[in-house]
Amino acid sequence: MSNETKTESNRRGKLEMPRLEGEALEFAEKILSIGMPYRYAVQAFLDSFPSYAEHETLTESEIFEILKSRFQRMRRDTRRASYHKIKENEASLKDLLDCTPVASPLMRLIELEMMRQDRTLTCEQRLKVLGAAAREVERLMPRERTSPFSGLPDLIPTKSTTPSETETNGKPPPDPFGGAMMQNVIPRQKTPEDD
């Protein structure tokens, strides 16, 4: 055991539950590699390995939460060996599914394209095919979620008053829009209506 590992374990304190090892660890890695949601993964794990549910001081819900947080770290922490094992399992599972036409997303897209090209489809059926294809593409390549308001300009000004306003009469003119409109107006601009 290295010095870093010793100091880490000293900082964390004693483990409340035993480490996942052997068959239990392999089972956890497999159920996490198929993308099972955490609460179902923990329940399946406890059903298969009931000895982890037996503890002197922890309640069942506390055991559930501890296992859930461990599973989350296994799936997300790139420094863990389990993370890399889960990724390997996911890749081999994907290769296996791609060989099975009904399970392959590419095959489903090809089938949907063949249906789309069918001239006998009604408009309603064609829309259903296009919707199914869009959902399949979204599953294959999820887009990055962004706010619909990210491209809008900032309406809250960073400075409170302009120097010309305070020099003229000591106080800024009243702004019924709370600064959103009046502070962004360039003073003394000539317009075509002024002529």
49-84 pLDDT tens trace: 888 888 778 888 888 888 999 999 898 888 888 889
pLDDT of residue 12: 42
HEC letters along the chain: CCHHHHHHHHHHCCCCCCCCCHHHHHHHHHHHHCCCCHHHHHHHHHHHCHHHHCCCCCCHHHHHHHHHHHHHHHHHCCCCHHHHHHHHHHHHHHHHHHHCCCCCHHHHHHHHHHHHCCCCCCHHHHHHHHHHHHHHHHHHCCCCCCCCCCCCCCCCCCCCCCHHHHHHHCCCCCCCCCCCCHHHCCCCCCCHHHC
88-130 pLDDT tens trace: 988 888 887 777 766 677 778 888 888 888 889 898 998 998 8
